[in-house]
Structure 1
Amino acid sequence: MFLKGFKEKSNKKYLNKLLSERHANVNDSKIVSLGIIFNIDEVNNFEQFRKLADNIDVKPNRLKIIAFSESEKDNVNTWDACYNPKDFGWKGTVKNSELQEFLNTEFDALVSYYEDGVLELKLITALSKAKFKIGILQTDERLNDLIIKNPLKEFNSFKKEVHKYLTILNKI
């Protein structure tokens, strides 16, 4: 328990370092590939994310969706790519090779759809090599390039707003 606190502090320090060194590189390149991160403890309808990808013309083979759960139980067997706090080590290291592969993929856009300030979710967003990051309003605004203030339960309005702003930014 004592070491868990040190590990969390180490990861927070690493996250702050990542976010302070981050440079937003927004250009008008089109979105062809899309990565999505969501907290399965908050939202469990992952089909809505496929509809979001269809809405912004991303082909199914260029879409990758991962889920995160704070519970370490295997009761989330309905979702195949679900990660938990055990997949992270000290100083933001990722212990899971599949999660590391997701983070190394250079998506044209990354959607972070979660409200809770879970440290590991923030780490996934910050560690991602995505070119353009989209999310809902967080306590730390350095995480995303496009922030949409939207209640988590109103996904259809989020989808409309994403489409509207990506059209304005000439990304779709």
Structure 2
Amino acid sequence: MILKGFKEKSNKKYLNKLLLDRHVNVTDSKVVSLGVILNINEVEDFELFRKLADYIKVRPNKLKIIAFSEEKKDNINAWEECYNPKDFGWRGAIKNLELQEFLDTNFDALISYYKKDVLELKLMTAKSKAKFKIGILQTDERLNDLIIKTPLKQFELFKKEVYKYLRILNKID
């Protein structure tokens, strides 16, 4: 129990260091690839994100969706990849190779779709090498380049706002 507290403090310190060292490099490159991080405890329908990718003209082979669950779930059939706190070590270390591969991918855009303030989700967003980060979490504005404040249940509104702002920023045609 004490070690868990030390591990969490270590990861929080690492997250803060990542966010302080982050350099926002917004280019006018188009969105061709899209990564999505979501909390499966809040959103269970991953098809919504496939429709969003189609809406902003991202090809299906350029879309990668990963889920996070606070507890280990064995009954998740629909998810290709679902991660939990056991996939994270001390000082932000990632123990899962597939998760590390996702975070090392240079997506043109990353959508972090979660409201709950979970340290591991924030670590995933911060460690991602995506060029442009979009999210709905407002507890730490340093995580995302674009924050769209919509309720989780109103995904259609979120989808329209993402499209609108990507058009304004000249990221999609």
Other-structure match for 1:44: 44
Identical aligned pairs, as a percentage?
A: 77
Q: Are the counterparts in 2 of residues 110 and 134 from structure 1 also a CA contact under 8 Å?
A: yes
RMSD of equivalent CA atoms: 0.7
Aligned match of 1:57: 57
Name 2:148's counterpart in structure 1.
Answer: 148
* 1:101-120 equivalent positions in 2, closer than 5 A: 101-120=101-120
Q: Do the aligned partners of 1:137 and 1:150 also contact (CA within 8 Å) in 2?
A: no
Query: Distance between the aligned counterparts of 1:89 and 1:137, measured in 2?
Result: 23
Distance 2:149 2:134 in 1: 11
**Structure 1 contact 105–128 (Cα < 8 Å) conserved:** yes
Structure 2: distance between partners of 1:166 and 1:78: 29
Q: How far apart in 2 are the matches of 1:61 and 1:96? A: 22
TM-score (norm 2): 0.98
Instruction: Name the stretch that deviates more: 45-54 or 134-143.
Output: 134-143
* TM-score with structure 1 setting the length: 0.98
1:132 alignment partner in structure 2: 132
Measure, in 1, the Cα distance between the counterparts of 2:157 and 2:85.
30
Residue aligning to 1:85: 85
SS at match of 1:150: coil
What per-residue deviation string (whole Å, max 9, x for no partner) do you get for residues 62-85 of structure 1? 000000000113122331200000
Query: Counterpart of 1:86 in 2: which secondary structure?
Result: helix
Q: What is the alpha-carbon distance in structure 1 between the residues aligned to residue 95 and residue 76 of structure 2?
A: 19
Task: Give the Cα separation in 2 of the matches to 1:25 and 1:2.
Answer: 39
- Structure 1 portions without partners, runs of 5+: none
- Measured against aligned partners, the alpha-carbon deviations of 1:93-136 in whole angstroms (never above 9, x if no partner) come to 00000000000000000000000010000000000000000001
Larger deviation: 87-96 or 22-31? 22-31
Look up the match of 1:72.
72
- Residue 138 (structure 1) shift: 2.0
SS in 2 for 1:111: strand
Q: Deviations over 1:28-65 (max 9, x none)?
A: 11000000000000000000000010111100000000
Letter in 2 for 1:63: L
Counterpart of 2:76, as a letter, is V
Equivalent residue number for residue 26 of structure 2:
26
Give the whole-Å Cα distance in 1 for the aligned partners of 2:102 and 2:165.
Answer: 25
Q: Please tell me the residue identity of whatever aligns with 1:9.
A: K
CA shift, 1:27, in A, is 1.4
